Amino acid sequence: MLEDLQYLLELQEIDLRIKEQELAQEQFPEQVEKLNKQIADATEALEKVKVTLGQAEEDKKNWEEQVEKAQDGLERSQERLNSIRTNREYDAVHAEIEAQKNIINSAEQRRNNLIAEIERLQATVAEHQTELERITTENTPQIQDLKDKIGAIDSNIAEIMKEREVVIPKLSKHILRQYDLIRSKRKNGRALSIIKPNRTCSICFKVLEPQLFNEIKRGIKVQLCQSCGSIMIWEAPEQQ
Ligand SMILES: [Zn+2]
């Protein structure tokens, strides 16, 4: 019996390592996805600001063209002043000149506002660029590492299974059956409750009767926790 308990401890240690690999198989792809999404989000944020910047540059160009066009008109009107004959003509050309000056003023104002906006957007683009580079530098090696680990999971499990195959034949069949049954019901894969001098079930924390505690310490037969059903094993059965 003592030997069986020792092998059970070995078996649980092996099974927990398999469990760990299975958990990784489940969680690592999600982590890769999360890290990739961070890069994609940063790229998208950068692209958005670049589009806004491009639009502002386009608008600035349009207002500059408006200024140029109004300036040409203004020059032509001013030339016409030299050949004016009547007062009526004079008033009309002056009104034209006023209107063109107004257009130039407001177009220049718009252009100046856009110059300020473009400077602000260029700074934002630079910030987003830096952020994207930071995230990419940080995440890329993590993604590679996770992908390597995902790629190794199957062979890791196969290796650990070999260790399992070595322990299995050493265990009494009915004890193995009991262990597998309890383990199959446990999400965390822990079927054994390791009992320490504090006399408490390590799975459900029920305090054990002194007599039961002594029997577990002696390790003569398989004892199940009355509260949670775990197989109770003294923490160091090989020393019994
Ligand atoms: Zn218990």
Distance of CA 180 from the midpoint of ligand 1 (Å): 17
8 A C-beta contact, residue 70 and residue 103: yes
8 A C-beta contact, residue 93 and residue 80: yes
Asked if residue 92 is part of any domain, the answer here is yes
Are residues 90 and 208 both part of a single domain? no
Which amino acid, 23? L
- Average confidence (pLDDT) over 94-101: 94
Which one of 169, 184, 208 terminates a domain?
169
Are residues 92 and 179 both part of a single domain? no
Distance of CA 196 from the midpoint of ligand 1 (Å): 13
- Average confidence (pLDDT) over 65-90: 92
Are residues 157 and 113 both part of a single domain? yes
pLDDT of residue 183: 95
Distance of CA 202 from the midpoint of ligand 1 (Å): 7
pLDDT of residue 238: 63
Are residues 158 and 190 both part of a single domain? no
pLDDT of residue 54: 98
Percent of the chain with pLDDT over 70: 98
**pLDDT at position 187 over 70:** yes
Distance of CA 201 from the midpoint of ligand 1 (Å): 5
Distance of CA 24 from the midpoint of ligand 1 (Å): 28
Distance of CA 211 from the midpoint of ligand 1 (Å): 16
Q: Is 202 helix (H, G, I), strand (E, B) or coil?
A: coil
Mean pLDDT (the chain, rounded): 94
Q: Which long-range contacts (CB under 8 A, 24 or more apart) does 41-46 make?
A: 42/128, 42/131, 42/132, 42/135, 42/136, 43/132, 45/128, 45/131, 45/132, 46/125, 46/128, 46/129, 46/131, 46/132
Q: Which domain holds residue 45?
A: 18-169
> Would you say the C-alpha torsion 107, 108, 111, 113 has a positive or negative sign?
negative
Distance of CA 189 from the midpoint of ligand 1 (Å): 14
**pLDDT at position 72 over 90:** yes
Distance of CA 57 from the midpoint of ligand 1 (Å): 71
Are residues 140 and 229 both part of a single domain? no
Asked if residue 4 is part of any domain, the answer here is no
Whole-angstrom Cα distance, residue 21 to residue 25? 6
Residues with CB under 5 A from ligand 1 (ion): 201, 203-204, 206, 225, 227-228
Most confident of the ranges 41-55, 187-201, 210-224: 41-55
Closest CA to 183 of 122, 234, 231, 142: 231
8 A C-beta contact, residue 146 and residue 28: yes
pLDDT of residue 66: 94
Distance of CA 184 from the midpoint of ligand 1 (Å): 16
Are residues 117 and 227 both part of a single domain? no
pLDDT of residue 219: 87
Whole-angstrom Cα distance, residue 237 to residue 240? 5
Are residues 107 and 124 both part of a single domain? yes
Least confident interval from 75-89, 106-120, 164-178, 191-205: 75-89
How many H-runs (helices) and E-runs (strands) does the chain carry?
A: 4, 3
Asked if residue 13 is part of any domain, the answer here is no
Are residues 64 and 180 both part of a single domain? no
Give the pairing of strands 231-234 and 192-195. parallel
- Average confidence (pLDDT) over 18-40: 97
Distance of CA 26 from the midpoint of ligand 1 (Å): 28
- Average confidence (pLDDT) over 192-196: 95
Are residues 28 and 147 both part of a single domain? yes
Which one of 136, 169, 202 terminates a domain?
169
Cα-based distances in Å from 108 to 26, 71, 112, 213, 217: 60, 11, 6, 91, 92
**1 falls in which pLDDT band (50, 70, 90)?**
low
Asked if residue 218 is part of any domain, the answer here is yes
**84 falls in which pLDDT band (50, 70, 90)?**
confident
Least confident interval from 37-51, 74-88, 151-165: 74-88
| DSSP-derived secondary structure letter, 207 | B
Distance of CA 153 from the midpoint of ligand 1 (Å): 32
Looking at the structure of the chain, the number of domains it has is 2
Asked if residue 50 is part of any domain, the answer here is yes
Asked if residue 146 is part of any domain, the answer here is yes
Closest CA to 22 of 144, 154, 116, 113: 154
Distance of CA 208 from the midpoint of ligand 1 (Å): 9
Are residues 132 and 36 both part of a single domain? yes
Give the pairing of strands 231-234 and 223-224. antiparallel
- Average confidence (pLDDT) over 189-212: 94
**pLDDT at position 221 over 90:** no
Asked if residue 3 is part of any domain, the answer here is no
